[in-house]
Structure 1
């Protein structure tokens, strides 16, 4: 067989293997399962993602249709939805104790913030996360939860609906080097940090909206609802 034919066959073989790895990428299934299984376990409500599309070579890609349902006792079906999330991680680190995530960028998430007699839906989610975090501290060895370092986490163009009666736009959330100093953070610790930041941004936005309403003398009912939340 001529060398040119051998080279051509080798090239076709490489192309075939590369194509198979791309369309049968185990990384996509692994990340999807981790998000849905650990996310649901941690928040004690349903977490789902429609599609994960990450390169098996450099770990760059995106998630589509991420949704976090509300805990029981709340009327709105979901607490958080995002159509697209940009993600970049180190594929080799998935087999290590600490997963290195270079980038998580979420654009235009849809957030429902609901309050009932027991508090808000995010209060309930945070309690569930804290409960999971407390239990995970007792686990050791292979049973211990994976840790991660997130170099850049950004949530932009945040849209929040408060109690079905008020739409707000929150300032962007930007966090850097999460877990780096401690040698890695658990999923529960990351979630706790994000919820705390979200609560802070929301409280500021609600306070500004209440002040504007008071000055303009409009939306008194909404203003009273906001006041009750801020006095919680």
Structure 2
């Protein structure tokens, strides 16, 4: 997904050109970690490794779609699309942080294999609005637990004690929900002239409305957590997929 030339020029003039390299690094990361097929060649000791790898692969595709959606909003000069995508990027990165936390608890024997498998099933197959086909599915993990898992990760590994992701997530939610903040883009008010001016279709929105910094932080953190989690799974689990054997070269 490429940025429009006009957007690149705006980023450059606003000293935000690092956004280009960050997104390039992200898509290279996705390409490096993508596996087109997973072929089972033997029966594993248990299903933990197999299920983790499948989850990580599907997870990678989801985050890639969301990042493309964010960039599409930037190219289209549509902050609402980008903020909606960024909010989902937070949630998706949060689900990875939650899995990372639970997998480490499993390794430390704080929780059992059955407990971890239960949490992974909720992350991957959890359904909130059930019908006759999904009546037996587990409930998903609450989305705020996922966001809080990001802050827990930052506290544990970065020594950042402020709940920055929850604060940012709440702000993003205000931007996309139909309430006060989400209407600011549609007009400006001049107190000097007692005049309200409504936004024209082709008006260029300020970059501040796209939350570029939060986006770059989120995708960098995603790559960091994904890399560490996959490495631990590859080292510690019996994985039956032929295509994953070459990952043993850590």
TM-score by length of 2: 0.23
Q: Compare the two structures and name the one with the higher helix fraction.
A: 2
Structure with bigger RCO (C-alpha 8 Å, 6+ apart): 2
TM-score by length of 1: 0.24
Q: Tell which structure's C-alpha radius of gyration is larger.
A: 1
Q: Compare the two structures and name the one with the higher strand fraction.
A: 1
